Amino acid sequence: MTLNLLPMATQDLQFQVTRNENAKSAEERAAILENPGFGQAFTDHMVDICWSERGGWHRPRVQPYGPIQLDPAAAVLHYAQEIFEGLKAYRHADGSIWTFRPDQNAARMQRSAKRLALPELPTEYFLDSLTQLVAVDGDWVPTAPETSLYLRPFMFAKEAFLGVRPAKKVNYYLIASPAGAYFHGGVTPVSIWLSTHYTRAGHGGMGQAKTGGNYAASLVAQQEAYEHGCAQVLFLDAQQGEYLEELGGMNVVLVTRDNRLITPDSDSILEGITLDSVLQLGRDRGYTVEQRPVSITEWREGVASGEIVEAFACGTAAVITPISEIKADDFDIVMPEVAERVSMSLRDELTGIQYGRVEDRHGWLYRLDA
């Protein structure tokens, strides 16, 4: 499959490859892949591309995975000028390695960069970094069901200075981590804590950018969720405290009895690639998709009346997770039991596409090892 890429003026980057002399042996790698967890082990190499105001993007390298040396005055440490992305590489039955809609990750990273006053990495460079890393670390892509190689591109201000202005020196990196099945023993519905004391982002802020500050802002509320026996936290808007935003790291979708998929729309919500894909698969099935402001009151009343029959969260890591209940300080929303969950059917179709078991009608797959 070939993705349609947006044109952007670029020059060819010639990657220098330095092999890791201390790379894991085949036996060590196999032991890790047997039970990789998530984000705990990392492959033998990483990508590094430099950027400067005068020189643009230059010196692309694949080098041994290891610590990054930073000056104590590096701008990222003081002014949080950084962004990141997340996507996966999947092993298909014939042994080939593919990823899913990486052009959309590249485009989102460009939008995040613009919001954080960072240089925009061209789509071609983004895709090339993925194929370059897989070329040396392809053996790290696991083969067991529901496993993958998680790819983490990130960019930050590396210039050493103390002053509030955009940095003139930046680095882009790509690291990779084998990921096991997100749900051991199968996908089960989860309880969500509704945060009424904290907000994640506000109008005109950085909510639409994939930057660490947004996730840092969610951690205290996430901790509160754990204390209430919940797996995740749901945030409301910062202005009225009434309209749904997103979870700490996932988007939320409501399903109605008349075949509508409803998801919140706000300029402080990160645009989800998994969400966009799920909504398209819903349209393919004849569902009506509504992206609009959604209040917590609408959710409560919709469940009470039987209008809203299902809710789920979606994102790169877990793909789709059914929601069983919302817990708040003074009320609960308990979702009804359903014989067949729309969320699980959509999850099966989406993961089927990603792993090559279901036809890719939209041309979403991109081969990394060809």
Dump pLDDT digits (tens) for 146-190.
999 999 999 999 999 999 999 999 999 999 999 997 766 678 999
Structure tokens at 360: 């890719």
Q: Average pLDDT over the chain, rounded to whole?
A: 94
- pTM here is 0.94
Averaged pLDDT for residues 317-335:
96
* Cα–Cα distance, 99 to 82 (Å, whole number): 24
Averaged pLDDT for residues 109-127:
98
Averaged pLDDT for residues 2-25:
74
What is the predicted pLDDT for the residue at 184?
Answer: 63
What is the predicted pLDDT for the residue at 10?
Answer: 56
Q: With 80 as the cut, is the pLDDT of residue 8 above it? A: no
Burial class (CB in 10 A: 0-12, 13-18, 19+), 172: buried
Min mean pLDDT across 200-204, 291-295, 319-323, 345-349 is at 200-204
How many other CB atoms sit within 10 Å of the CB of residue 313? 27
CB 228 within 8 A of CB 193: yes
Averaged pLDDT for residues 204-212:
93
What is the predicted pLDDT for the residue at 31?
Answer: 97
What is the predicted pLDDT for the residue at 248?
Answer: 86
7 band by pLDDT with thresholds 50, 70 and 90: very low
What is the predicted pLDDT for the residue at 182?
Answer: 75
Q: With 50 as the cut, is the pLDDT of residue 257 above it? A: yes
Give the DSSP H/E element, type plus range, for residue 322.
Answer: strand 319-327
Contacts of 317 (CB under 8 A, 6+ apart): 38, 86, 150, 179, 182, 249
pLDDT tens profile 125-136: 999 999 999 999
Averaged pLDDT for residues 215-240:
94
Identify which of 47, 41, 3 has the alpha carbon closest to the alpha carbon of residue 24: 41
Higher pLDDT, 357 or 1: 357
Structure tokens at 123: 């789509």
* Cα–Cα distance, 263 to 275 (Å, whole number): 9
* Cα–Cα distance, 289 to 283 (Å, whole number): 7
Q: With 50 as the cut, is the pLDDT of residue 307 above it? A: yes
Contacts of 116 (CB under 8 A, 6+ apart): 81, 82, 83, 206, 209, 211
In angstroms, what CA-CA distances link 207 with 53, 196, 231? 27, 18, 21
pLDDT tens profile 33-46: 999 999 999 999 99
Q: With 50 as the cut, is the pLDDT of residue 1 above it? A: no
Structure tokens at 211: 């930057």
- For residue 44, the SS3 value is coil
Averaged pLDDT for residues 208-230:
95
- How far is C-alpha 224 from the chain's CA centre? 23
Residue 117: CA count within 13 A, CB half-sphere: 12
Min mean pLDDT across 90-94, 185-189, 303-307, 320-324 is at 185-189
12 band by pLDDT with thresholds 50, 70 and 90: confident
